[in-house]
């Protein structure tokens, strides 16, 4: 790291003690900025770097709720409004027991540059709670969401901050959150949340967008080598929204995804994933991956480890942060894997990324490859503002165009700053300069 960025990093560590994931996300971006600042030293002036690593606003609140048996629970709610240079804060809400300030801050920080890469005029934010929706009834989830929104509602708005889903927050939760927001504000502000149901302001293709976009990005990377996904074996992790629709798009492009996973283990289905069955188990029944194996002859469940030991050509980590470490990277490389595109946020550890880059394989960081989700959220906001609704083909065509543009921006920035093919540098440099230029235009705020 250059001296000037090293100093900023040390300050971040000192002021945000114990927030390891936030430190990791900041480090990855700052490490890329050496060549950018050498070429354009003004980016290190006027405290710009110090400002960009400091959230504009951090909200933390109590979320009390009553379970079906009458017992009172107290969770913690967060919303980090990180950067509004490019537009209203935009980013999902995560409901998972692992959620804390450091996790939300890392996600919010990533979101700034991801959203900038989409070119759509959205700032960066993130929120969530340590609430665990697993095993909770619909009524419990509803009461939690209502309590959460009772506080959050005073901080958000269609031109201020627009939350959406992330891990543990899907259509059901967005519905309860929207219902409570509308009631509290007495205002049908469809554009205050994205990921809404189709009957009340949602966008076609939003559900599919993150997974589809990740696969489209992998396809674009392969195209730079004159190759494609056709006939490639793929390991996917996760079994949520991102993983399911990554599998769907990969199958449409003639590839063969053979794994997926959840916290109970991973499934290997050498015949290729039966997508209808997977959707039935995860989307309809809210079941576990073992329920898939029980109904799918030939598929096996592995309860130890992660799917990265399975020999494949392409890996799509679509579960959660730091799920693919140095050992997993070594095993993927040993087995000849030549493409890694992140569907989740920061799923590869720094050591894994280093191994991929040293081996010279195609590696896409999530802030570029998983930006299709938030990009389609911005398309949803656009439809809400125009009181209109596009058909699936229109929304998907826009998503496809945005992913191609993001890919090309990364390639171009990597070349400009002297490291062709380095998508980490490309994504960070392209995202950073877009935000930084506008922050400079807005003065010291
Ligand atoms: N949570 C998603 C992400 O990580 C989507 C955010 C959104 O749609 O606002 O980008």
Instruction: Report the CATH number that the domain containing residue 175 is assigned in CATH.
Output: 3.40.50.10860
pLDDT, tens digit, for every residue of 31-75?
999 999 999 999 999 999 999 999 999 999 999 999 999 999 999
Q: Are residues 227 and 351 part of one domain?
A: yes
How many structural domains compose the chain? 2
Point out the residues that are catalytic.
Answer: 126
User: Which atom belonging to ligand 1 lies closest to the Cα atom of 371?
Assistant: 10
- 11 lies in some domain: no
Q: Which atom of ligand 1 is closest in space to residue 377's alpha carbon?
A: 8
Looking at residue 55, what is its pLDDT?
Answer: 98
pLDDT computed for residue 126 by the predictor: 98
**Residue at 86 is within a domain:** yes
Mean pLDDT within 10-21: 98
Do 300 and 341 lie in a common domain? yes
Summarize pLDDT for 64-103 with one digit per residue, the tens. Answer: 999 999 999 999 999 999 999 999 999 999 999 999 999 9
Domain boundary among 369, 401, 436: 369
Residue 267 and residue 219 share a domain: yes
pTM given for the model: 0.97
Question: Are both 243 and 357 inside the same structural domain?
Answer: yes
**Does the pLDDT at position 176 exceed 80?**
yes
Give the Å distance between the CA of 89 and the centre of ligand 1.
11
Residues 68 and 129 in one domain: yes
Q: Given a cut of 80, is residue 1 above it in pLDDT? A: no
Calculate what percentage of the chain has a pLDDT beyond 70: 100
Quick one: 226 and 294 in the same domain?
yes
Any domain includes 408: no
Task: Please say which residue of 349, 369, 389 terminates a domain.
Answer: 369
Does the Cβ of 146 fall within 6 Å of ligand 1?
Answer: no
Q: pLDDT category, 2, cuts 50, 70, 90?
A: confident
- In this prediction, residue 362 has a pLDDT band, given cuts at 50, 70 and 90, of very high
**246/358 same-domain check:** yes
CATH number at residue 346: 3.40.50.720
Residue 86: per-residue pLDDT: 98
| Nearest atom within ligand 1 for CA of residue 115 | 10
Final residue of a domain: which of 345, 369, 393?
A: 369
Among protein residues, the one with the nearest Cα to ligand 1's atom 9 is 91
Residue 102 belongs to domain spanning: 55-187
Instruction: Map the chain to HEC letters.
Output: CCHHHHHHHHHHHHHCCCCHHHHHHHHHHHHHCHHHHHHCHHHHCCCHHHHHCCCCEEEEEEEEEECCCCCEEEEEEEEEEEECCCCCEEEEEEECCCCCHHHHHHHHHHHHHHHHHHCCCCCEEEEEECCCCCCCCHHHHHHHHHHHHHHHCCCCECCCEEEECECCECHHHHHHHHHHHHHHHCCCCHHHCCCCCHHHCCCCCHHHHHHHHHHHHHHHHHHCCCCCCCCCEEEEECCCHHHHHHHHHHHHCCCEEEEEEECCEEEECCCCCCHHHHHHHHHHCCCCHHHHHHCCCCCEEECCCCHHHCCCCEEEECCCCCCECHHHHHHHHHCCCCEEECCCCCCECHHHHHHHHHHCCEEECHHHHCCHHHHHHHHHHHHHHCCCCCCHHHHHHHHHHHHHHHHHHHHHHHHHCCCCCCHHHHHHHHHHHHHHHHHHHCCCC
Note whether residue 431 is domain-resident. no
Residues 140 and 215 in one domain: no
The answer on pLDDT for 356 being more than 80 is: yes
Residue 304 lies in a domain: yes
**Are residues 299 and 269 part of one domain?**
yes
Query: Average pLDDT of 304-319?
Result: 97
Residues 212 and 347 in one domain: yes
Residues 177 and 93 in one domain: yes
> Ligand 1 mean position to 345 CA, how many Å?
10
Q: Are residues 244 and 114 in the same domain?
A: no
Task: Indicate whether 436 belongs to any domain.
Answer: no
> Does residue 30 lie within any of the structural domains?
no
């Amino acid at each position: 790291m250059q001296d000037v960025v090293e100093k900023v990093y040390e300050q971040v560590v000192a002021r945000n003690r114990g927030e390891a994931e936030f430190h990791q996300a900041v480090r990855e971006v700052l490490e890329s900025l050496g060549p950018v600042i050498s070429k354009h030293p003004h980016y290190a002036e006027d405290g710009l770097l110090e400002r960009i690593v400091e959230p504009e606003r951090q909200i933390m609140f109590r979320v009390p709720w009553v379970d079906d048996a009458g017992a009172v629970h107290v969770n913690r709610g967060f919303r980090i409004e990180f950067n509004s240079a490019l537009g209203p804060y935009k980013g999902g809400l995560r409901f998972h027991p692992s959620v804390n300030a450091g996790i939300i801050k890392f996600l919010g920080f990533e979101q700034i540059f991801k959203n900038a890469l989409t070119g759509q005029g959205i700032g960066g934010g993130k929120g969530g709670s340590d609430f665990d929706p697993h095993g909770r009834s619909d009524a419990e989830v509803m009461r939690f969401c209502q309590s959460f929104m009772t506080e959050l509602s005073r901080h958000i708005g269609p031109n201020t901050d627009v939350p959406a889903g992330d891990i543990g927050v899907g259509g059901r939760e967005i519905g309860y959150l929207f219902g409570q927001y509308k009631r509290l504000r007495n205002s049908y502000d469809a554009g205050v949340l994205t990921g809404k149901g189709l009957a009340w302001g949602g966008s076609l293709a939003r559900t599919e967008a993150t997974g589809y976009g990740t696969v489209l990005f992998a396809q674009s990377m392969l195209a730079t080598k004159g190759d494609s996904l056709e006939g490639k074996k793929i390991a996917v992790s996760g079994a949520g929204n991102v993983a399911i629709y990554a599998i769907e798009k990969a199958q449409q492009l003639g590839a063969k995804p053979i794994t997926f996973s959840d916290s109970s283990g991973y499934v290997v289905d050498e015949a290729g994933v039966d997508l209808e069955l997977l959707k039935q188990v995860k989307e309809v029944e809210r079941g576990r991956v073992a329920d898939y194996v029980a109904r799918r002859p030939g598929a096996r469940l592995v309860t130890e480890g992660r799917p990265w030991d399975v020999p494949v050509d392409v890996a799509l980590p679509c579960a959660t942060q730091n799920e693919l470490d140095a050992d997993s990277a070594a095993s993927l490389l040993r087995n000849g894997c030549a493409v890694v595109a992140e569907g989740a946020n920061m799923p590869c550890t720094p050591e894994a990324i280093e191994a991929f880059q040293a081996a010279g394989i195609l590696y896409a960081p999530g802030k570029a490859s998983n930006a299709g989700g938030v990009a389609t959220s911005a398309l949803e906001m656009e439809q809400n503002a125009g009181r209109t609704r596009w058909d699936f083909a229109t929304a998907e065509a826009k998503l496809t165009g945005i992913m191609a543009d993001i890919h090309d921006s990364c390639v171009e920035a990597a070349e400009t700053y002297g490291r062709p093919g380095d998508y980490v540098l490309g994504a960070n440099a392209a995202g950073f300069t877009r935000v930084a230029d506008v922050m400079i235009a807005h003065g010291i705020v």
